[in-house]
Amino acid sequence: MARSDLPDTAVARRHQHARLFHDRGRMRIGLLGGSFNPAHEGHLHVTHLARRALGLDQVWWMVSPQNPLKTSRDMAPLDMRLMQARQMTAGIPWIRVFAPEAGFRTNLTHATLRILRQRCPRHRFCWLMGADNLQGFGRWQHHDIIAQTVPIAVLDRPGYS
């Protein structure tokens, strides 16, 4: 079944919060945070690369309501960015797309990671980051806490690596 052939309800159901936080078994989960404005083939490429290289069970695309380091001027609405990302990943069952920061009422990665680890203590998380983001990582609030909280996998991006 092609990505666009899945009914919207099936796609939405796969990304529900309650099912994401079940924590019944131990899983290795890559966390790819970003604006996804819009989601594109580059996101899929690094997701597949990370899954193979790191032996991940799932990759969670965490769509940020608003990156504190970016302007909101050209940012598409969160619902639209979520819908586009879910459509792009509809045929890939090991990718989950959601916006935890909207529910957690934070847009800071260190706080999101703390909440995820509290809600899913058995899962093993790894933060996935493109080499382009590594250059500005020192500007992230509490970047030192992020680095102490989860392993960080820096993924190659031509021109930055």
Segment 33-87, tens digit of pLDDT:
999 999 999 899 999 999 999 999 999 999 998 776 677 788 999 999 999 999 9
Segment 113-128, tens digit of pLDDT:
999 999 999 999 999 9
72 part of a folded domain: yes
Higher pLDDT: 103 or 111? It is: 111
159 torsion bin: left (phi>0), alpha (psi -120 to 50), beta (else)? left
16 part of a folded domain: yes
How many folded domains does the chain comprise? 1
DSSP 48: H
For the segment 107-114, the average pLDDT, to the nearest whole number, is 92
115 part of a folded domain: yes
The whole domain housing 83 covers 3-155
119 part of a folded domain: yes
Higher pLDDT: 4 or 122? It is: 122
Query: pTM of this prediction?
Result: 0.83
Q: Return the structure tokens found at 153.
A: 């996998």
What's the CATH number where 23 sits?
Answer: 3.40.50.620
160 part of a folded domain: no
